[in-house]
Amino acid sequence: MIYDILLKLKQNKKLYSCSITVFHAGAINNRRFVFGREILDFNMSGIRFRGGETGYEEFTVPMEDVLSVESEGKTVFKRKPRIKKVYPR
């Protein structure tokens, strides 16, 4: 599903201006933003992008860690939040 959305954005030449929110355990609020200009490539398993402190390091984020995709101020995709079930004792 996310792959199809990114592919459509790439075909319409809007991938450069999109913003992707991904789950990142070490970041503030467990989120990291990947901008379209940082994306090098993507496939069915993940997104490869350039980032880090120097801006030249390459990272890969699995597709299941993508939380939302925004393009031109509109939310194109948003993952449903996982609700932790608490059972009474």
Q: pLDDT digits over 2-24, tens only?
A: 999 999 999 999 999 999 999 98
**What's the predicted TM-score (pTM) here?**
0.81
- Name the DSSP letter for residue 11: H
CA separation, residue 8 to residues 23, 43, 54, 55 (Å): 23, 13, 30, 26
Q: pLDDT digits over 35-89, tens only?
A: 999 999 999 999 999 987 777 889 999 999 999 999 999 999 999 877 777 887 7
Q: Any residues with CB less than 8 A from the CB of 72 and at least 6 apart, and which?
A: 14, 17
- Name the DSSP letter for residue 85: P
